[in-house]
Amino acid sequence: MLLTISPPRGTDNYGSGAFGASRGDRTHRGMDFACAAGAIVLSPVSGVVTRLGYAYADDLSYRYVEVEDESNKRHRIFYISPTISVGSEVYSQTTQIGIVQDLTKRYPNGMTNHVHYEVKSDGKFVNPCAA
């Protein structure tokens, strides 16, 4: 599953998956791409894995992988079970970085299963589709 060819998550019972969509008192800092739980996720960029983190402080089962590219942009792909380790070199669209997790357990009222992709450049979140 390549993020660049997966369809964007549209609007569902939890809102829109678009970059900049309203999240109450903040905006959505990434772009959501619809995909099935269990799908393989390939790195959207070449770089080095700098962090394996947790999406939620209250639930350590949901994870993300962070890849830093050669221009020091940090790319985070959420809701995947990592299949790679910190320090690993990755290559865009050829290196598996994880497996899509099932979001229906956390969001049982109709959220489309997806991965969340965000990019931070010079301390600011940027649209990953334009990065």
**Alpha carbon separation from 5 to 31, 34, 108 (Å, rounded):** 13, 10, 26
Tell me what pLDDT residue 1 has: 47
Is the pTM for the entire model greater than 0.85?
Answer: yes
Task: Give 68-97 pLDDT, tens digit per residue.
Answer: 999 999 999 999 999 999 999 999 989 999
Alpha-carbon distance of 102 to 99, in angstroms, equals: 10
Domain at 64, CATH number: 2.70.70.10
Domain enclosing residue 100, as ranges: 11-126
Instruction: Count up the domains in the chain and report the number.
Output: 1
Is position 95 within any domain?
yes
Task: Give 8-66 pLDDT, tens digit per residue.
Answer: 787 777 778 788 788 888 888 999 999 999 999 999 999 999 999 999 999 999 999 99
Strands 124-126 and 114-121: antiparallel
Is position 92 within any domain?
yes
Is position 120 within any domain?
yes
Is position 1 within any domain?
no
